[in-house]
Every structure is written in structure tokens, then in C-alpha cells.
Structure 1
Amino acid sequence: MQELVGALRSYAWGSRTALAQLCGRPVPSAHPEAELWFGAHPADPAFVKGADGKRSLIEVVAADPERELGHVVTETFGSRLPFLLKLLAAEEPLSLQAHPSSAQARSGFERENRTGVPFESPMRNYRDDSHKPELVVALDRFEALAGFREPHRTVELLRALEVPALTSYIELLAAQPDSGGLRTLFTTWITLPPASLAALLPAVLEGCVRYLSVRAPREFGPEVRTALELAEVYPGDAGVLAALLLNRLTLEPGQALFLAAGNLHAYLRGLGVEIMANSDNVLRGGLTPKHVDVPELLRVLDFEPISLPIVEPIPEGDGSVVYPAPAPEFALRRFDLAADSAPVSLPNSGPGIILCTEGEIELTRDGEQLVLGRGAAAWISAADDGIKARATHAPAQLFCACVGHQH
């Protein structure tokens, strides 16, 4: 077990306070801090601290894959850590986006390699050949848009806005209240000619304002308010219309959201622990100044409506809770440790990453000790076993990330 130093990423939607406070650094930070990566992705690997200094986790794994990952993992996933763990802090909405399936990722990656799209090009959609299922666990109140809402409910929402310009679109979805109707409506809105969008969007936003002008709570208040907030950050963006088709949800601390391939989503605000397959493939559809490839997004989107995809943690016998996710690349569990609690045994086999998000913890193994404060992490190789953790400053909270089959 060795301390793991995360790679800090700055994006405009990040927070100047959340990650700095969590990691005990001065607030506000000089730049918006969006993500802290703990993993071995080539775009921004974490670094392992050892007696001979810091080494990239990619280098550590590549030097001895069998020791670091174990035989079963290397047989299944090759000599690459299959998951990526992050801390994510959103002060403003992220882009409207989806991730490809495994087959779509392989095909897209090969196609862009064949056509010579440079890896560093902002026009590149596929930066690796992997899918990217992901799970985010809320550390504070976390708000998001995720998956297409049941069409009948969307028809009710759009009718409640009382916007005449929406009539034809409402009728379209009401006549085909299924994935086909959602595909048609979404495609129509996301590809509207500029003149048509410039006429429709203001009318919809005026309807949103009227809807919220009533003092009594309204049924679709959060959805309508979100559309107005998105329009302020991204004026004139067709993604504001598309957001009205998605489930609007709020995660309370400890709850999670799982997103499979093809689910259109946008994180709105909040602080969370995120784990995903070791990939950086993102197809964007709006609400961003970055590259948007609508035809490719439409190719990967899953328009099947879903209910709120909230994941509740399941208690384990060892005092932890686990977040179920149908992804072989990763599993995530959480321990909450009180001051007087006995040391807990962590998962017996690596590879894994331990992340402290509250208090301070001490890890022990064969006489070795490693203390982790808030925002600090440790790399656990497959050769490390018998690790125990206890709170040295309580209450303490830690997350254990490992490969899916190890749960």
C-alpha cells in the first residue's frame, strides 16, 4: 500500500471551494477545480509515492502487471487498470452527454485512427476503445439530469407550459409515446435551424417563467427551473430544450446514480465520488463550448425511457455498504468509521484504491502504517492483503474501489 497523489483537472464548470475544502487547501482556489483523478488513464495518471520518489501509476503497473493487478485481472483486462476513480465538483452544469457501448467505442476509435484524427484534436470523439459505464456517489446534495423521462409525463410537462409554439411537438410525442417518438423529437430539437431555434427557445423560456410565477408549488417546478438556469449559462443552446425531455433528480449524501452506455445526462451541481471504466470517451450534445458531434451522439444514444436511476447502498456484513453496478470493470464500497470503532478489514485483494473523504484514517498491514487525511488516497496492489483501517480522527469515511469481480 502506497500513497496515491491525484491529478487535479480544471474546467470552467468546476468549483473554487469544494475540492480545496475537502483536501484542506486554501479557499478559494486560483482556478475552478473540477475533478481529481485517481487512476491510470493516459490523459492524467495519478502518481504513487515511494521511497524513490513519485512514479506514474501507469509506470508502476506496466513495470509488473502481475504483481500490481493480479493474474485474474490481467487475464481479463490486460495490463491496464480497468477502472478510474475521481472526486468531482460541479459549480455549474456539465455538458449534455452520453458514453458509447464497447462495440461503439471500438468502432469509433478505429474509424478516427483510420481517418487520421489527431489524439489531441478537440474534434476527436474517441480517445480510447473502451466503453464508460459510470457511478457517482453524492458527498453533498447532488443534482443531475439523467435518462429520458417517460413520454406521457413529458407531454404533461410541455402542455403545462402553455406555449402555442410547442403544440406540434407535443402532438408528435403524444402520438408516439415511446422511444421512437423521443428519438424524433430530440433529433428535431437538437438539429433546429438557427432561425427556428431563435424563435422557439425564447417562447419556451417565457412559458417557463409564467409557470413558476404562481406562488404555490408546481408539479414540474424543478424541471422548469433547471431549464431557465441552463438558458442563463448557455443562451441560445438547443440543449436547453433537450433538457426538458430528461429525468431531473436530486441525490442526497450517500445516494448514487449509475449511468449505462447511451444514457443522455448532465450533472448540474454538487460534490461526489465517481467511478467508471478506464475511459475518456464522451459524446456531447450541447450545453458546452466544446466539440459537439450530433450525428455521432445520435448513433450512440439509447432513447428507451427510464425511471429515476438512483442507486441505494446495500449494507454488507463487514460494516460497509456497497453500491451495486452492472459493470465488470469496477465495484465501490463505503466505510463510515466512528472514533471508538474497531479496525475494519478492507477487501482482501487488489488492485484497489482507498480514498478518504472525511476525518482521518490509518491503514495498517504487516507492521506498516499509512495515514490518509481528507482527499488523500492509497494504491493497493494485488500483492497487498490483510489491510485494516481505523479512524484516527472521527467521524471518518473511506471509499474502496476495486475491480467488479472482486466484490
Structure 2
Amino acid sequence: MQELVGALRSYAWGSRTALAQLCGRPVPSAHPEAELWFGAHPADPARVKAAGSDRSLLDLVTDDPVRELGTVADAFGARLPFLLKILAAEEPLSLQAHPSSAQARVGFERENRSGVPVDSPLRNYRDDSHKPELVVALDRFEALAGFRDPLRTVDLLRALDVPGLNVYAELLAAQPDSDGLRTLFTTWITLPAAALSTLLPAVLEGCVRYLSGKGAREFSAEVRTALELAEVYPGDAGVLAALLLNRLTLEPGQGLFLAAGNLHAYLRGVGVEIMANSDNVLRGGLTPKHVDVPELLRVLDFEPIDLPILEPEAGDDGGARYRTPAPEFALCRFDLPAGGEPIALTDAGPGIVLCTEGTVELAQGGHTLTVRCGSAAWISAADTDIKARAVDGPAQLFSACVGGN
């Protein structure tokens, strides 16, 4: 087991306080801090520190995959199949989806043949992998994810009482299924600028009227979100598209799993995120980054879904497990009481142990490693019988490993 230093990513939607506070650095930070990557993705691998050395986790795994990955290399090749992050969103992320494995392979090869550099801002596919992902809230976490039941969306559009929305409400009411959602989403996301400049302000006025009404309002969260998105991204068709999606709130400890093709946008909050080791994102709006609507439409799953909030299951080892169908990763949370007995981390390596509260001491034989809040440890396949205990107060850690381990 070795100390692992995350790679800090700065994006405009990040926070100047959340990650700095978590890691014990001065607040506010010089720039918005959006993500800490703990993994071996070529775009930004974490650093392994041990015995005075400092090297990337990517190089460590590539140089000796047998020791570091063990039998995982038989299934996934000489690469760590997952990427672990801490995400801190002060403003909404882009409206986006991720491709399936087949779509990623085809898209990656197509862009390679076209000569688009892998690091180009115009690139859609930076690798040939799909990107299922799980986010677990560290504080209150807000998101849009998955297309809502079309009939409820019809109710929302009618409740806004905007004449310009009537034709769209009737279109969806006449075909309340995935085909109707595809038609409406495609129409809105590709609206000519002149039409959008007329419709969107009228919709936003309708949102204001809706919220000023008396009594309980069924769609208050959805309508308020549309207004907030319009403030950050004025004139963006993604604001209209957001009206079609489920609006979710995760409380600390709750999770959300997103499969390929699921349209989503994280709105705000801090969470631990684990995904297949990929950086493939297809964007449709709500961002200054590259948007490729035709490619997004190719990968989107328009089947309406009532996304369940994922509650962890209690494990025999005292951990709380977040079960997903993804073979690339598994995630478990441990809440360690102050002065408690050491608990065994039974998940086999390769893995990453991430501390998100307090300080944790890892012990293996006569060797110990202190992991402070915002820091992590790399657990190779050769590392076994590791125990963890809280130091100087309660602590929380997340253990990430390959699915099925």
C-alpha cells in the first residue's frame, strides 16, 4: 500500500472552497477546483509516493501489471479499469451522456482516422471505453438525470401556461413514449436561433409566474432549476431540454448510477464518483465546451426512466456497499468511530482507499500508512490483510476496487 496523490482538475463550474476545505488547504483557492482524480487515466494520472519516489500510477501499473493488477489484467488488460474522483460542483455541469462500449470503439476509431488529436477540444472520444458511473453524495447533491415519464412532462408544460409550448405539449401527449421524447428533444436542441430567442424567454416568464402562484407547486424544483440554468447559460437550448429530465436530490450517503446513453447534468454538490476508466463525454448544451448534438443523438437512450436513488447495503465487514451492474468497479463506504477497533478491508486489490473525513491509519503487518482527509492510498493486487482505524476522532473512507472483487 502506497500514498496516492490525486490530480487536481480546474473547471469553471468548480468550487473555490469545497475541495480546498476537504484537503485542508487555504480557502478560497486561486481557481475553481472541480475534480480530484485518483486513477491511472492517461489524461491525468494520480501520483504514487513511496520510499522517496514519486511516479504516476499509470507508469506503475504499465511497468508491472502482474504485481499491481493481478488477475484483473486477464479481464481488462494492463490497465486499471476504473477511475475514482472527488467532484465539487458550484455551478451546473454540461448536459451530457456517455457512449456504450460499441459506440465508444466506433467513435474512437472514426476520429482517429479523421486525424483529430486525442487532446483536441473538438474531440468527442478520447478513448475506446464506455463510461458507466456512480456518484455518492458527500453533502446535499442535486442532479438532472434520465427522461421523465412523458405524461408528467406534458403536465409540467401545460402548468407553465405558455402559448408557445402548446404545440409541443400536444405532440408529446399524442406520443407519450421514447419516440415522442426523441422528437421533442431533437426539435428543441436544434431550434434555429430566431425561434429559440422567442420561445425561451416566454418559457422563463412562465416559470416565474408558476413559482409566484399560491400553494404547493408540484414542479417547483424543476421550474426553479430551469431559471437557474438560464442565468448561467442564457439563450442555451439546453435549458428547454432540462425540462424533460428527472430532478433528483441526493442526501449524504445516497448514490446515483448512470448507464450508457443516460442524459444528465449534475447541478451542485460534492460527491465521490467512480466510473469506468474513460473520459468520453458527448455534450448537448449548458457548457462553453465542444457540443456535438448529432453525435449526442446517436448515443442517447430516450426510454423514460424513474431513476432510483441508490441506498447502500450493509456488508458483513461493517461497510456500506453500493451495488451496480458495472464490472469495472465496486464501491464501499466505511464510517469509522473514534477509538473503534480496526476493521478489515476485505476487498481485494487492485484498489484505492480514499479518506473523506478525519484521518485513517492503514496497517498491513508491521507497516502503517496515515491517510488524511482528501488523500488516498493505492492498494496493489499483492497487498492483502489491510486493516483501517480512525485516528484522533471519527473518520470516513471509501474503498474502490474492481467489480466482483
Q: Same fold by TM-score, threshold 0.5 exceeded?
A: yes
Number of the residue aligned with 1:90? 89
Number of the residue aligned with 2:24? 24
Within a 5 Å distance, the mapping from 1:31-42 to structure 2 comes to 31-42=31-42
Shift, 1:340, TM fit:
2.8
Counterpart amino acid of 1:85? L
Shift, 1:348, TM fit:
4.6
Segments of 5+ residues of structure 2 without an aligned counterpart are none
Matches of 1:322 and 1:53, distance apart in 2: 34
Is 1:50 the counterpart of 2:50? The answer is yes
Counterpart amino acid of 1:383? A
Q: CA 1:360–1:161 in 2, change beyond 3 Å: closer, same or farther?
A: same
Within a 5 Å distance, the mapping from 1:328-367 to structure 2 comes to 328-367=327-366
Matches of 1:348 and 1:302, distance apart in 2: 33
Shift, 1:405, TM fit:
1.7
Q: Is contact 2:354–2:397 with CA below 8 Å preserved after alignment? A: yes
Structural RMSD (CA): 0.7
Number of the residue aligned with 2:76? 77
**SS of residue matched to 2:363:** strand
TM-score by length of 2: 0.99
**SS of residue matched to 2:404:** helix
TM-score by length of 1: 0.99
Within a 5 Å distance, the mapping from 1:300-311 to structure 2 comes to 300-311=299-310
Counterpart amino acid of 1:350? G
Shift, 1:323, TM fit:
0.3
**SS of residue matched to 1:311:** coil
Q: Is contact 2:317–2:346 with CA below 8 Å preserved after alignment? A: no
Matches of 2:20 and 2:168, distance apart in 1: 45
Q: Is contact 1:349–1:383 with CA below 8 Å preserved after alignment? A: no
Within a 5 Å distance, the mapping from 1:3-402 to structure 2 comes to 3-70=3-70, 72-402=71-401
Q: CA 1:281–1:348 in 2, change beyond 3 Å: closer, same or farther?
A: closer
Matches of 2:288 and 2:390, distance apart in 1: 43
Q: Is contact 2:95–2:238 with CA below 8 Å preserved after alignment? A: yes
Counterpart amino acid of 1:174? A
Counterpart amino acid of 1:246? L
Matches of 2:60 and 2:22, distance apart in 1: 27
Q: Is contact 1:69–1:351 with CA below 8 Å preserved after alignment? A: yes
Counterpart amino acid of 2:69? L
Instruction: Choose 49-58 or 254-263, whichever is displaced more.
Output: 49-58
Instruction: Choose 50-59 or 84-93, whichever is displaced more.
Output: 50-59
Matches of 1:388 and 1:120, distance apart in 2: 40
Counterpart amino acid of 1:231? A
Shift, 1:203, TM fit:
0.5
Shift, 1:216, TM fit:
2.5
**SS of residue matched to 1:405:** coil
Matches of 2:334 and 2:183, distance apart in 1: 45
User: Could you tell me the percent identity over the aligned residues?
Assistant: 79
Runs of 4+, deviation exceeding 3 Å: none
Q: Is contact 2:339–2:391 with CA below 8 Å preserved after alignment? A: no
Shift, 1:342, TM fit:
1.1
Matches of 1:147 and 1:259, distance apart in 2: 9
Shift, 1:53, TM fit:
1.6
The one-character-per-residue Cα deviations of 1:163-205 (angstroms, maximum 9, x if unpaired) are: 0000110010000000000000000000000000001000100
**SS of residue matched to 1:327:** coil
Q: Is contact 1:350–1:384 with CA below 8 Å preserved after alignment? A: yes
Shift, 1:249, TM fit:
0.5
Matches of 1:286 and 1:320, distance apart in 2: 38
**SS of residue matched to 2:248:** strand
Counterpart amino acid of 1:114? R
Counterpart amino acid of 2:44? D
Counterpart amino acid of 2:176? P
Q: CA 1:133–1:348 in 2, change beyond 3 Å: closer, same or farther?
A: closer
Matches of 2:226 and 2:111, distance apart in 1: 34
**SS of residue matched to 1:192:** coil
Shift, 1:120, TM fit:
1.8
Matches of 1:66 and 1:361, distance apart in 2: 28
Matches of 1:236 and 1:340, distance apart in 2: 55
Q: Is contact 1:83–1:330 with CA below 8 Å preserved after alignment? A: yes
Matches of 1:393 and 1:244, distance apart in 2: 47
**SS of residue matched to 1:186:** helix
Shift, 1:52, TM fit:
3.7
Q: Is contact 2:131–2:279 with CA below 8 Å preserved after alignment? A: yes
